[in-house]
Structure 1
Amino acid sequence: MPVHPVVQAREVAALLGGPEAPIVLDVTVLLAPARFDGDYRPESGESLWREAHLPGSRHVDLLTTLSDTASALHFTRPAPDRLAVDLAALGVGPGSSVVLYDQGSATWAARVWWLLRGVGVDARILDGGLAGWTALGLPVESGAPAPRMPVGAPAAALTDRGLWVDRAEVEEIVAGRAPGTLVCALAPVQFTGAEPTRYSRRGHIPGSRNLSAKTVVDDRGLLRSRGELVALAEAAVGEREEPLVVYCGGGISACLTALGFVVAGHDAVQVYDGSIEEWSADPSLPMVTTAGGDA
């Protein structure tokens, strides 16, 4: 049975240093707000990791690892065989206990959680991230990375579980030729196109509902209760047709909204990996700017 996707800081702290200690990965990426349309500036979060991190953790640079570096899009998921190689280099194999965190609002941790979930690897997200950890007075380390772990053989059992969709599938939903409800995980001002975007055009894909990833966590960065998430999901999609296909700007925040749907009890949830970055780059594809949610 899959583990619950979120783990509390004190539970992790009790395991560190013991025989059941999880592999702890800091997956922070720095992504500045857009100053103008098309302004996309991701940076590795390793500098923050060096300043303070969970004891025994490692930083994973998502600009080069657990992403398809040959893709024209940012942070595209790699093929299962490439993902298996990257995970082996991190010491992750069948049966590994993995805890993910970031130094933001859990969007990057959720991205890697969804990536691993998509190939059948159970992982958990540290509730509240590093900020939640330090708020409890739990210990941190600083400094350079520890020597790399021995690289094991890539896991041969990684198979795609169908948690992702591509552009063609989204086009079918927009055209009404395939079932599904599109959900945009961007903030309302980005959904409506009221502020600059990192991508080619502002707005959202026609027919989309809006459930901002920022609403899935509270002001402390903790995942909201299941009851709160059920209410958010109901307000966003009600009884609309499944699967729920979630997207955002570049397929990152979408995974946090997807987490909210899963915890709320929705099973048929998928993520459009290319998201607005891919969709908006094709001028033949429609975009909508509006002050309200689509009907």
Structure 2
Amino acid sequence: MADPPGTPAGLYRTVRLIRRFEERAIGLVSSGDIVGGIHPYIGQEAIAAGVCAALRPDDVITSTHRGHGHVLAKGADPARMLAELAGRSTGLNRGRGGSMHAADFALGIYGANAIVGANGPITVGAAWAARRSGRDTVAVSFFGDGAVNQGVLLESMNLAALWRVPVLFVCENNGYATTLRLADAVAGTITARGIAFGMPALTVDGMDPQAVLAAARDAVARARAGFGPTLLECQTYRFDAHHTWEHKARVRYRDDAEVERGRSRDPVELAGGRLDPADRARIDAEIEALLDDAVGFALDSPHPDPAGALDHLYATGLRARTGGG
């Protein structure tokens, strides 16, 4: 598996890995091995693939409740990620983080976040701290269109622009905040939020990993050179449910014709169509083998010992006290 991330083969490998990982995870939700469900990233793979291909290993990302794709694109082990979703002790966070809080600091993954928009200040703080330490680290904040009206995210944009913090704000605009249409929630435009703070802001084809990569490379280079943040609005479409709960609830807020139009430009097919069929088949087979092993690893791993439930609460190693008083 030596396809560099920014090449056509590398981009295809990433979008295909994310797609098949999510499909496998949905199967594990159905079987009860993943409890509580997930927010599938299916349809939005090009954004994670393109942005993360523009980053160095020491760069930082923060993510959202729909964060599996970002975590995988930044290099996380699919086996440990699946183990985390299944609540196993071999998971990225020993089974304690689950789907919405996966992190791997060694890879620059400073965590998914279940609170909409809440990763913005974490991203800005991480980038500012790195710059103060003399490092040219760039940090990326992924968020959805549902976050653009959150005050904490707008405050983060303001501070990043004011202090020229090396941050890339990436809005994954799939048109819905859960079931609320963008037009019913957002006054003006998403890019106008960035422009208001004096930062470059542009709209990108979020279904094409090469288009996302090109825009992200420019923004990352600008940030690394000391010119501050950029906002990318990546227009995409979520093919599956907001949450796997919808598979049972059958919530109807999109009609079949809309979903079919949204699926007409599939990131996996766009990226795969740029490859020689033999190369594509090779990558597909490698990913299936990788995920077969990942599923086996996750399901064969033990659940955490309840006796250690209070471990790892504090970075210092301090253990929480139990009992009254």
Identify the structure with bigger relative contact order (alpha carbons < 8 Å, sequence gap 6+).
2
The normalised TM-score by structure 2 is 0.28
The normalised TM-score by structure 1 is 0.30
**Higher fraction of helix:** 2
Larger radius of gyration: 2
